[in-house]
C-alpha cells in the first residue's frame, strides 16, 4: 500500500518536476527534517516540482516522516487542483490510519473540490468533531454552506475559521464574497477595506471590494478601486456590468461607452456588453 501511494502521487505530479529533479532527489541523501523543510519552502513559493523532489525521498520511510511525506504529496495534489487524485491519496492514507486528521480534512476538501457537497460536509463535520478549530476544515464548511446558499451558516463557519488561525486573505476573501452573494454589500465592503490595509497587494480582495461598492451603486468609487489593478477601460467595463446586474441600464450604457472609448484596441468583451444593453 505504501508503494502504491508513492507511484500514484508520482504519476499525478511528475509533470511538475523534471527528470533531473527527481533523479537528484533520489541521489541527494539528507536528513528527513531537511528534506521536509525544503519541500515546504518550495511549496510555499509555488514550486511544486521542487517540493515533490524534496518530499519523494520521505515516502518509503517507516517512521513518522514517511507519513508526513505522503501527506505533503497528497496536499500538493490537492493544491494543484487534482481533486480526484487527491481523494484517492487521502483514502489510501485513511485506510492505513483512520485517525489521521490531516487526511480526514484533505479528503473532505477534495470532495468539496469535486462538487460532492453533501459527502464533503459529512467528512468535514466529522473532522471538526475529531479536532475542532482547524481553520481549513472550517473554511471548507463555509464554502459548502455557500454552495447550498445557506449564507448565515457560511458566515458562522468563516467566523470560526478566522478565529482559529485562518485570519488570512483566502478566508477573508471567502467570507466577504459570501456576504456579497447574500446581498450584504455594506458588510462585505467593510470587511474588505480592513483586510486591504493589512494585505494591500491582494488583488482578489480589491476586486471583491470593487464589486461590493458597485453593487451599492457607488460606481465611481468601484472604478477607482479597480484601477489600482486594472486599466481604465476594464475598470469601467466591470462597473458597467455590475450596473447592468443592478438593473441600472442607463448607467451601464454610459460606462460601457466610456470603456469602449478608453480601450486602446478593439475589446470583444466590451463589445458584447454594449450589445447586451442594446448599443
- Domain residue spans of the chain: 1-97, 168-216, 219-279
Cα 164 to chain centroid, rounded: 18
Query: Radius of gyration over alpha carbons of the chain, in Å?
Result: 23
Residues 6+ apart with CB under 8 A from 276: 244
Residues 6+ apart with CB under 8 A from 74: 9, 86, 89, 90, 93, 103, 106
Task: Quote the CA–CA distance of 119 and 104 in Å, as a whole number.
Answer: 12
Angle at alpha carbon of residue 273, lines to 269 and 279, rounded to 5°: 130
CB 168 within 8 A of CB 195: no
Task: Quote the CA–CA distance of 48 and 29 in Å, as a whole number.
Answer: 20
Q: Residue 29: its pLDDT value, please?
A: 64
Angle at alpha carbon of residue 213, lines to 212 and 215, rounded to 5°: 65
Q: Mean pLDDT in runs of 10 for the chain (279 residues)?
A: 44 45 53 93 91 92 93 95 96 96 98 98 97 96 98 97 92 98 98 96 97 98 97 96 97 96 87 88
The distance between the two most distant Cα atoms of the chain, rounded to a whole number of Å, is 68
Q: Residue 9: its pLDDT value, please?
A: 52
Residues 6+ apart with CB under 8 A from 132: 164
Rounded (10°) CA dihedral 124, 129, 135, 140: 20
CB 253 within 8 A of CB 277: yes
Task: Quote the CA–CA distance of 225 and 223 in Å, as a whole number.
Answer: 5
Residues 6+ apart with CB under 8 A from 16: 48, 49, 52, 76, 80
Q: Residue 20: its pLDDT value, please?
A: 44
Taking phi over 0 as left and psi of -120 to 50 as alpha, with beta for the rest, 81 belongs to left
Amino acid at each position: 500500500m505504501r508503494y502504491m501511494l508513492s507511484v500514484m502521487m508520482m504519476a499525478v505530479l511528475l509533470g511538475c518536476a523534471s527528470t533531473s529533479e527527481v533523479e537528484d532527489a533520489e541521489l541527494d541523501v539528507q536528513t528527513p527534517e531537511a528534506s521536509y523543510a525544503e519541500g515546504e519552502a518550495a511549496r510555499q513559493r509555488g514550486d511544486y516540482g521542487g517540493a515533490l523532489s524534496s518530499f519523494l525521498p520521505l515516502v518509503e520511510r517507516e517512521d513518522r516522516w514517511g507519513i508526513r511525506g505522503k501527506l505533503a504529496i497528497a496536499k500538493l495534489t490537492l493544491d494543484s487542483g487534482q481533486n480526484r487524485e487527491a481523494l484517492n491519496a487521502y483514502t489510501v492514507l485513511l485506510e492505513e490510519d483512520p485517525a489521521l486528521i490531516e487526511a480526514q480534512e484533505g479528503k473532505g476538501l477534495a470532495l468539496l473540490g469535486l462538487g460532492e457537497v453533501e459527502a464533503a460536509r459529512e467528512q468535514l463535520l466529522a473532522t471538526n468533531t475529531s479536532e475542532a478549530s482547524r481553520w481549513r476544515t472550517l473554511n471548507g464548511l463555509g464554502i459548502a454552506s455557500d454552495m447550498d446558499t445557506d449564507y448565515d451558516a457560511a458566515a458562522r463557519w468563516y467566523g470560526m475559521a478566522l478565529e482559529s488561525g485562518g485570519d488570512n486573505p483566502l478566508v477573508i476573501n471567502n467570507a466577504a464574497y459570501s456576504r456579497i452573494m447574500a446581498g450584504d454589500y455594506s458588510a462585505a465592503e467593510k470587511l474588505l477595506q480592513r483586510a486591504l490595509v493589512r494585505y494591500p497587494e491582494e488583488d482578489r480582495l480589491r476586486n471583491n471590494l470593487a464589486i461590493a461598492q458597485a453593487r451599492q451603486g457607488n460606481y465611481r468609487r468601484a472604478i477607482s478601486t479597480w484601477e489600482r489593478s486594472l486599466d481604465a477601460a476594464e475598470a469601467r467595463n466591470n462597473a458597467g456590468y455590475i450596473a447592468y446586474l443592478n438593473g441600472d441600464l442607463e448607467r451601464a450604457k454610459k460606462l460601457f461607452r466610456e470603456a469602449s472609448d478608453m480601450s486602446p484596441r478593439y475589446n470583444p468583451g466590451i463589445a458584447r456588453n454594449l450589445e447586451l444593453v442594446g448599443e
